[in-house]
Amino acid sequence: MSEAPKKRVWGRWVVLAAIVLGLFLFTDFFGIGLGIKPIMPHVYLPGEKYSETPLFTIPFIGPFYFTNTTFGLIVADIIVILLAIGVSRGVKSGKMVLTGISGAVEALLEMLYGITESTAGKWTKQIFPWFATITLLVLAANWSGLVPGNETIGIIHEYKGHGYALKHIGPLTTIWDEGGEAKGEGKSYAVIPFMRPVSTDLNFTFALAVVAVVMIQVIGFRAQGISYLWKFWNVGGLFSKPIFGFIDFGVGLLELISEFSKILSFAFRLFGNMFAGAVLLFVIGSLVPVFAQALFYLLEFFVGLIQAIVFGMLTMVFMSQATQGHGEHHEEAHA
């Protein structure tokens, strides 16, 4: 008889050790804990600069600084590249079924391809790469914010405002809440995190929205040619059918406005959800540093997944709609 496989129990001990360490650090556990008092985080909308010296200056635009959201973008890009390499190697190895992370990514891509094929039809091969790339990039950016220590470990710097005092605990230096002002020197400090999820930076979400909307127009021109412009400037019936022609002309102008509004809706939807989620984790961690954050981590896990799929799916749907002219819609309606 074959022996029953041994159960791996080391994970339980790691979780237990983390709980004990958290109790020791953040509470006065039976009088032997350090009792580090958690602080309310500083909420910054833009990415924080590592230094006041720019990396380089772009003519007519201005200086370029390396921020913690830039580092978050690099991390997200590296994750997507490693996932692509892993899936590619798994497929080339001849395995019938991929396992582990590669298998999960393959299943996700197959699901996205099936959705694209049922919506875009013959334009699937042109639209699917954009759908998949945007989804994976946003997903990697969103989930990178769930890494422990993200947005909480960083560089301590003097802060002109409601900062916090410094306290030395052994070889470590931490920020200590003592009424918002350091005693003695009268200086206050804040932390610049080493990394922030790039999806909490409006610059990234806005840039990604611009790329998505521009490619929607590119796909539309590829599918319909110059006649794609009639979607926005429909003057064909102004003289032959004055009333209905004027209505079609007004609808075209509304379509033009809606294309620009897509940029704002794309950008602020992703930014608002992810930034609010990051602030929520900070606030809960400041109020109850042990146990409570686990439930909200699970919530943010699903929010990050849903937001990535929604961003990519909306891009795919708008691209597939751009391949169809108004004439095709009328023919389908009559049929």
Contact 282, 44 (CB under 8 A): no
Instruction: Please report whether residue 103 resides in a domain.
Output: yes
**Tokens 């013959």 sit at which residue?**
122
- For 115, the domain range is 67-151+196-334
Confidence (pLDDT) at 212: 94
Cα 275 from Cα 282, distance rounded (Å): 11
Contact 64, 203 (CB under 8 A): no
Token reading at 70: 């830039």
Instruction: Please report whether residue 325 resides in a domain.
Output: yes
How many structural domains does the chain have?
1
Cα 273 from Cα 283, distance rounded (Å): 15
Nearest Cα neighbor of 271 from 179, 208, 194 is 208
Confidence (pLDDT) at 126: 92
The three state secondary structure string of 156-206 is EEECCCCCEEEEEECCEEEEECCCCCCCCCCCCEEEEECCCCHHHCHHHHH
Query: CB-based burial of residue 278 (10 Å sphere; 0-12 exposed, 13-18 middle, 19+ buried)?
Result: buried
Contact 199, 267 (CB under 8 A): no
Cα 253 from Cα 204, distance rounded (Å): 28
Nearest Cα neighbor of 100 from 79, 83, 123 is 83
Confidence (pLDDT) at 268: 93
Token reading at 89: 């190697």
Digitized pLDDT (tens) for each residue of the chain, 335 residues in all: 445 555 566 767 877 777 777 667 666 655 666 666 655 556 677 788 887 788 888 888 888 888 889 999 999 999 999 998 988 888 887 777 777 888 888 889 999 999 999 998 889 999 999 999 999 999 999 998 888 777 777 777 776 666 666 666 555 556 555 544 444 455 667 777 888 899 999 999 999 999 999 999 999 888 888 888 877 776 666 566 667 666 776 777 788 888 889 999 999 999 999 988 888 887 777 676 566 677 788 888 999 999 999 999 999 999 998 888 655 544 443 34
Token reading at 227: 């006649």
Contact 307, 278 (CB under 8 A): no
Instruction: Please report whether residue 298 resides in a domain.
Output: yes
Instruction: Please report whether residue 11 resides in a domain.
Output: no
Cα 78 from Cα 84, distance rounded (Å): 10
Contact 70, 55 (CB under 8 A): no
Instruction: Please report whether residue 39 resides in a domain.
Output: no
Confidence (pLDDT) at 333: 37
Token reading at 187: 């200086």
Contact 191, 154 (CB under 8 A): yes
Instruction: Please report whether residue 264 resides in a domain.
Output: yes
Confidence (pLDDT) at 331: 42
Partners of residue 324 on adjacent β-strands: none
Instruction: Please report whether residue 324 resides in a domain.
Output: yes
Instruction: Please report whether residue 45 resides in a domain.
Output: no
